[in-house]
Structure 1
Amino acid sequence: MGLQEVWFVLVAVLFIGYFVLEGFDFGVGMLMPIVGRGSDLPADTRRRVALNTIGPVWDGNEVWLITAGGAMFAAFPEWYATLFSGFYLPLLIILVALIVRICAIEWRSKIDDDKWRQRCDWGIIFGSWVPAILWGVAFANIVRGVAINADKQVESGFFDLLNPYALLGGLTTALVFALHGAVFLALKSADEVREDAVKIAARLAIPAIPVAGGFVLWTQLAYGKGWTWILVAAAAAALIGVVFLTRAEREGWAFVLTCVAVIATVVLLFASLFPNVMPSTLDPAYSLTIENASSSPYTLKVMTWAAAFMTPVVIIYQGWTYWVFRQRISSKQIPASIGLRFKEKTW
């Protein structure tokens, strides 16, 4: 395996890490309006429980996307340039949604006002649903191919990206991330929030199976390779297993299976793409491949040495973070809102 193949695999691994870890962050945000709704808990309390399950890790999970983008830029600059120019609008929308989500999470507790918190909650919901859908649309189009000309410019517009295959991909990522988040919330919470998250996960698994199954089957039949049938079977078996495990309230194993489903799907997409990085629908000769889109061998060699030293450190540190914050969060651990303590001064 040459360095170009190594870095194609590393970019895939970084996106796998992002979708597995940020996927349940998106899912928790997507479910904030409904989780714990049937309980006696105040809406603010149950939403604070949900946010506290991802509170110590969500910003670290986003680093995987930054690293994946940086690795793509350094290892495959032609891929990066064509992708970000041709997918400018959807990627901009994703970026805006992520910024809104970040601000909403960070600023939600800064003002003790119900309307302020409601606005922040809507920001979190918007910033979770939009990327969850558009990432599926984007990656489905990358695998399907877009209209790349001889100058490596994308000629298709935004609405050309909204084809049936890509829309099914967006619906798949939205449902799978919502399921992933519900299972994570059940794993990390207690009391009424956990009970409700288990019920939501069991319900979400039912539509997720045919939708995700249809998408991975379409991907396999249209773009897959012989050995990638294993990935289709793994994704399908994992989602089916989630149904039984959530009903049995074995959320730990259910979370493992949602991770398996996400990993199998992303590996299927990258395996179907290889050796291309962006196929052209105009002429296969115009497609970007790991050969014509990569940096020089020296650049790849320097990057490989840097990755060999830094990647284990990052993984160990993030694993330690998850270990420290491994306990369940209960509504009893959520203190009442503290009013603003500013008083008007009289002289």
Structure 2
Amino acid sequence: MRQPDYSAIIQILRGAVAFFFIGLTPIIPAMAFAAGHMGHMSIHDSSGLPGDFLLFPDVTGIVRYDQEPRKKLSNSEVIPAINVFYTADYQRFRFLGEWLVSTKTHNLERFQLGVHVGEDASLWLGRFHNPIGYWNMQFHHGAFLQTTISRPGIMAFETAGGVIPNHLTGFLWEGVRQFGEAGVYYTVGAGAGPQINKGLEAFNLIEPGGSHRPSASFRLGYQPVSYGIDEFGVSGAYNQIHSDELSVKNVNQFVASAYANKQIDSVRLLSEVVYVNNSLESPQGAKAYDDFLSAYGQVEWALHPRWTLVGRVEGTFGASNDPYLAMFPKFVEDRFLGGVRYQVNHNMALKLEASRDHLRDDHFGQVMFQWSAVFP
């Protein structure tokens, strides 16, 4: 077994420190530009800008070791990224936009135009997060918001090897109904889903193209006491996915999930089970069927207002010889993870994470370090 490349870890730490001190310089002109072009609206946040304008910069260092000889991932890499998030309400109308730029990808992740329907509901048009499960709706692309660096494999974004759609483009209806001190959240989405082109490829508003078929999904969540952190819920989806793979032409996919999020004093428990059923059609018209079950459990322990320990176990059942998962070599089928998050101040955090990951044809250890922040 090969040992971790400690020299690479040192380089990553040095890069993170350098980014911490000098990497924020380009953010100031960006904020000034935004302020100059949005000042005609009358709703302002504490920063003086209309609505809520937030920047989520981060830099992530990764070291992998003990990979299989046929490895497809580099031994080490440093990935800087910035996520620009903006939302505003004007009378009955709403807007939400999110743009992610990194050395790995650049996408207009969300672009939503909405209207308030009554006091507790909204109807949106545009590109939005698919309301599947808890993780995908609770955490967006701003790294500062997550306790961990990585997302569960089953909830990975399309560009990171995800196997279920994370983004839809169409209509989204969401709201909440209050029952005493409890609340029921509901979300329904329908629109153009992804296609398969060397992995899932969501509909791109900037560069539309490809063959994107209909998708529909829903999420129903229950918060039992005064809209607290506890939440339990279910979600489901139906996706028609066109494929550019030689052996698969179309996929009809059903997804169902159940999740639970529970806070007990300083310990938070988060778990989710996702069932996926696929019908695959070949170019010759032959059909194949498969299904698999993926689950994860995460424990977060707040030792101190600044320190949080975290552990997560992920597993996929029925993945062996699965023809659908065979098209996603980056999908993490199983993972054992442990980490720590240190809150530097109200808008900055450091994270360290170690895991043992199992992909379809590879096993390896991984150490990740991340600096993340939110401005203003």
Superposed pair shares fold, TM > 0.5: no
TM-score, normalising length: structure 2: 0.24
Higher relative contact order (CA 8 A, sep 6+): 1
TM-score, normalising length: structure 1: 0.25
Higher helix share: 1
